[in-house]
A = this chain, B = another copy of it.
Amino acid sequence: MADRTDPGPGRGTRLDRWHSSYADRAHGMRSSEIRALFAVASRPEVVSLAGGMPYIAGLPMGTIAEATERLLRERGAQALQYGSGQGEPELRDLIIEVMDLEGVEAHPDDVVVTTGSQQALDIVTRIFINPGDVIVAEAPSYVGALGVFRSYQAHVVHAPMDSGGLIPESLDETLGALRRTGRPVKFLYTVPNFHNPAGVTLAADRRGRIVEIAARHGVLILEDNPYGLLGFDGDTQPSLQGLNPEGVVYLGSFSKTFAPGYRVGWAVAPHAVRERLVLATESSILCPSMMAQLSVTTYLNTCDWRGQIKVYRELYRERRDAALSALAEFIPEASWTVPEGGFYTWVTLPDGLDAKAMLPRAITARVAYVPGTAFYADGQGSGHLRLSYCYPPPERIREGVRRLAGVVSGERELVEIFGTGSTGPIPGIQSPAPNQR
């Protein structure tokens, strides 16, 4: 995660002779607030509660190494060759099995294998979005999705969530209002399970309503589900896709349930949409890596992947507990969501604090997080931060939160002395909410 993109002394001052040649969309591409953090957050003395790196050290690496050796010996000529743009049939069959755990209704022909689900986000946006088109996205939303939407010059309108995820009535109002202004909504982007960054899950009794509302407004749903199998109690929620396969494009990933290093994700889409996704992915990358696809296939066929997911659940639950109890102990004046799975809790700072302005002080205190503003398309979120508990061990998480508490306390003193300063009303997860403090 070393930041090799730093221009280094003097290089940033070079004239860009191609500056006038860039496409309009290039001017909207900018470094994410997360990326700028990687350089500092990767220093060993910093407790990084910033990244979303899964804790893969628990994988059965010896078994994987042996199985990979066999794969290369037995099927090397296939693994190292080009494959089809849509992805390897054998892997697509297995993806159907994985998705079956969450009630996705699909045939292997409906699946497109991608270079991580990030590429799936990219090609879905590519085939649907003209500059200025409207995407409705949860507030807050995954920073990487917002980056893709921006790069295609979409206009993102946020729909509010509470502790039960997207609020059906508000979504209905938002879609209705947009319809009345004559701006077509191309799709609704949602992470229903163990939300990044909000840490909330769409309530079971809202799922049918969300699907019905989107269908009634003629709006496609883009259901992004990288964390769905990482629920701490082992339960899964029914996918939105399963409730209306013709109205949903579903995205999945092996990055959190297995490992991100292969970059294998996928999209499931209605037939005609899937055909266009294949054309878009062929144009982007020709075909996904056969070696990566067969490695994941081999893992699923030879390792106890369901057992590994259980191991992950236990591990992340322990870390979630460490994070929340440290928050309760050290920063009781803040509030936060209580995730039932996944990697993140969404922290609301005491009134008047600005997470982005506070970040340099946090880094100085050797703790890193992602400021809430990264997760909004419209500058909201300054009073929030995303706290990731996925990577550091529990005692480090506790230490990180302790350090953060010192920063928060110092900031509050400043606010008391100088007033609430320039931070406006604090948006985000609506309160009160039953599972928030």
Interface residues of A (CB under 8 A from B): 1-5, 7-8, 11, 14, 16-19, 21-26, 29-32, 35, 38, 51, 53-54, 56-57, 59, 61-62, 64-66, 68-73, 76-86, 89, 92, 108-109, 115-116, 118-119, 122, 126-130, 133, 144, 147-148, 151-152, 184, 186-187, 220, 246, 255, 259-263, 270-273, 275-276, 278-280, 282-292, 295
| Contact of A285 (CB < 8 Å), options: B16, B19, B118, B246 | B118
Leading 4 A-B pairs by shortest Cβ distance: A16-B272, A80-B261, A80-B259, A65-B72
| Contact of A65 (CB < 8 Å), options: B76, B255, B259 | B76
Q: Are A115 and B21 in contact (CB under 8 A)?
A: no
A16 in contact with B273 given A29-B280, A261-B290, A282-B32 (CB within 8 Å): yes
Distance of A22 from chain B, by nearest CB (Å): 6
A289 in contact with B272 given A23-B127, A72-B65 (CB within 8 Å): no
Q: Are A23 and B129 in contact (CB under 8 A)?
A: yes
Pick 23 A–B contacts, CB within 8 A, sort by A: A3-B84, A4-B92, A16-B273, A23-B128, A25-B130, A26-B127, A29-B127, A35-B85, A53-B81, A54-B81, A56-B76, A65-B71, A81-B260, A82-B255, A115-B115, A115-B285, A122-B284, A147-B283, A151-B283, A261-B291, A262-B289, A262-B291, A291-B292
Instruction: A5-B85, A18-B220, A82-B260 given; name 20 further pairs at CB < 8 Å.
Output: A1-B82, A4-B109, A7-B271, A7-B275, A23-B126, A23-B128, A23-B130, A26-B276, A51-B82, A56-B77, A68-B69, A80-B262, A116-B286, A118-B286, A119-B284, A119-B285, A126-B151, A263-B287, A291-B291, A291-B295
